[in-house]
Structure 1
Amino acid sequence: MELSGIGVWSQQLRYGDAAQAAEAAAELEELGYSALWVPDVGGPVFDAVGNLLAATRRAVVATGILNLWMHTPEDAASAHAALTAEHGDRFLMGIGVSHAPLIDHKEAGRYRRPLSAMAAFLDGLDAAKQPVPVESRVLAALGPKMLALASERARGVHPYLVTPDHTRKAREALGEGALVLPEQTVILCGSRDEAREIGVPWLRSYLSLPNYANNLLRLGFSAQDVESVSESLFDALIAWGDEEAIRSRVDEHRAAGADHVCLQVLTADSNAFPREEWRRIAAALL
């Protein structure tokens, strides 16, 4: 399974109309994107992965991430085996521990000892009737302990909502050979005001989650930066402007040690497939 170049991270490919998602996936592959990443915040994620695999021939389809609280290791391993048997070695299982406010919302106190929960989930994948190979899984690792676990138990990491500085730290923690596959949010726009109008409300929904806020504090941002979504924080997390601004940020991640960067395009309509933006980026970067 090759993971290089540039991919697309898209909630529309996961939660949008399945037929439209399949059509978009086929075009994304033809445009040259090497991987398609989808989130998992409830619902039949493996059906969505299968839909994208069936619509493509070469592209890797990855979960970014598989929420371990929503699946058993046995079911995840069985789905991985079935999809791999049908579509070849193109399903990368990105696994994450999600966030306490989301998991405890329906069952108070369920979110406990996330590092241990991840280790136990990986144990289950290893012990399954058809195990998920280490080479077919990466972890959503932000802090040093999860990065260390990923270096021992996975092929690499898929950090979300991070900066090139975090990519550098991940590469240092994992060493050479492991995969570092960061997500990078982008907005094609003509001004800072337009970028912030689209991006600030989106960012606030994530910055209210302790895992992301704490990671930004570790990277040197202040509590005030996080609370106010300061310009420096905004610019560090979201690449906005024209295609050259996006190219520059991708190059920063690559220089910091990224093997592959997946781009999440934000637009004013969060439910619409950003197909024109995907085409513009592909024409400039791929």
Structure 2
Amino acid sequence: MRQLGKLGVWYPVDRLDGAGIRRLLQTVEDLGYSALWYPESLGYESLSIASFMLANTTRLIIGSSIASIYARDAFTARRGLRSLSGLYDDRFILGLGVSHAPMVERVRGHVYDKPVPAMRRYLDGVYEDPANATEWPVVIAALGPLMLKLAAERTAGAIPYNVTPEHTREARAALGPDKLLAVEQKVCLETDAAAARGLARRELHRYLTLTNYRSNWLRLGFTEAELADGGSDRFIEAMVLWGDPTKIASDLSAHLAAGATQVCIQPIHAEGDWDARDRTLTALANL
């Protein structure tokens, strides 16, 4: 797997059309970020959009964060990984996740299984040779101790989402010193507290209903009261770093100090304000 730099970008490309994705890719690559991570959406199919993004870049590593194990069988994931890696100079990382019960059952019509056993079985189907499994460019979305243990034993690393530096420290301890740990972190280039918190609450609203995230936040020491009514200020400011570039850069460095291989910046901005997104990426590119 190719070496990742300390900064990457995480962005929901399903918000963009083809021209918008090309503009984002050019911005991210020109600014020197080493990787762009993207989610499984209800718009673009995960491996198809990865191919589009790889074809429109020359150096950028593209990583799925995540491709749902319920969206395609393990054999298809394996062939997709092999195809994208072979065609695009090993610039693709297959990030897998168990998604969330509402998306799996209501949207896809599947039965949502226990996360860790389901992921273990899926990995068994992905690898041609389990003996060298940790050498494949495969990582998993791991929040809790058991999924982190599985990431350490069976994959190249973990890609946690909606976490704090405290979680990063725990994840590094669970993974060991040599595994990839690419941590998503939302940032908002806004110095007005009310405006920043408003944007943050709008972005976090949908995650507050999902059991996987809520359970992890409670493990990290947040209370049910702090997760109610859109989230307390303490919770919001832990999830979305806001302020001027110097403050945000200082806060981002806490993940690196805690053991992250890469911090994946997700710009939070008003709907459709692509200029604000690009200003954020430009301001933080030289952390």
The TM-score with structure 1 as length reference comes to 0.93
Q: Aligned match of 1:250 in 249, 252, 257?
A: 252
Structure 2 residue aligned with 1:122: 123
Describe the SS at the equivalent of 1:56: coil
Distance between the aligned counterparts of 1:64 and 1:107, measured in 2?
Answer: 18
In the alignment, residue 199 of structure 1 is paired with which amino acid?
Answer: A
- What is the 5 A alignment of 1:111-150? 111-127=112-128, 134-150=135-151
Distance between the aligned counterparts of 1:193 and 1:102, measured in 2?
Answer: 32
2:270 equivalent to 1:281: no
- What is the 5 A alignment of 1:62-211? 62-106=63-107, 110-127=111-128, 134-211=135-212
Describe the SS at the equivalent of 2:37: strand
Point out the more displaced range, 227-236 or 266-275: 266-275
Distance between the aligned counterparts of 2:56 and 2:41, measured in 1?
Answer: 22
Kept in 1: contact 2:133–2:154 (CA 8 A): no
Structure 1 residue aligned with 2:18: 18
Kept in 1: contact 2:134–2:154 (CA 8 A): no
In the alignment, residue 283 of structure 2 is paired with which amino acid?
Answer: R
Distance between the aligned counterparts of 1:107 and 1:139, measured in 2?
Answer: 20
User: 1:15–1:202: structure 2 CA closer, same or farther, 3 Å change rule?
Assistant: closer
Kept in 2: contact 1:126–1:133 (CA 8 A): no
Total equivalences in the alignment? 281
Distance between the aligned counterparts of 1:267 and 1:237, measured in 2?
Answer: 14
The TM-score with structure 2 as length reference comes to 0.92
Q: How far apart are 1:269 and its partner, in Å?
A: 1.0
Structure 2 residue aligned with 1:219: 220
Describe the SS at the equivalent of 2:257: helix
In the alignment, residue 257 of structure 1 is paired with which amino acid?
Answer: G
Distance between the aligned counterparts of 2:32 and 2:21, measured in 1?
Answer: 17
Kept in 2: contact 1:16–1:271 (CA 8 A): no
Describe the SS at the equivalent of 2:139: strand
Describe the SS at the equivalent of 1:58: coil
Distance between the aligned counterparts of 2:38 and 2:236, measured in 1?
Answer: 23
Structure 1 residue aligned with 2:37: 37
Q: How far apart are 1:19 and its partner, in Å?
A: 2.6
Distance between the aligned counterparts of 1:107 and 1:54, measured in 2?
Answer: 29
Point out the more displaced range, 86-95 or 39-48: 39-48
Unaligned runs of 5+ in 1: none
Kept in 2: contact 1:84–1:90 (CA 8 A): yes
**RMSD of the TM alignment (CA)?**
1.9
Q: How far apart are 1:132 and its partner, in Å?
A: 7.7
Point out the more displaced range, 156-165 or 131-140: 131-140
Distance between the aligned counterparts of 1:202 and 1:15, measured in 2?
Answer: 13
Point out the more displaced range, 161-170 or 198-207: 198-207
Q: How far apart are 1:106 and its partner, in Å?
A: 3.4
Q: How far apart are 1:277 and its partner, in Å?
A: 2.3
Q: Percent identity?
A: 36
Kept in 2: contact 1:164–1:252 (CA 8 A): yes
Describe the SS at the equivalent of 1:117: helix
Point out the more displaced range, 246-255 or 156-165: 246-255
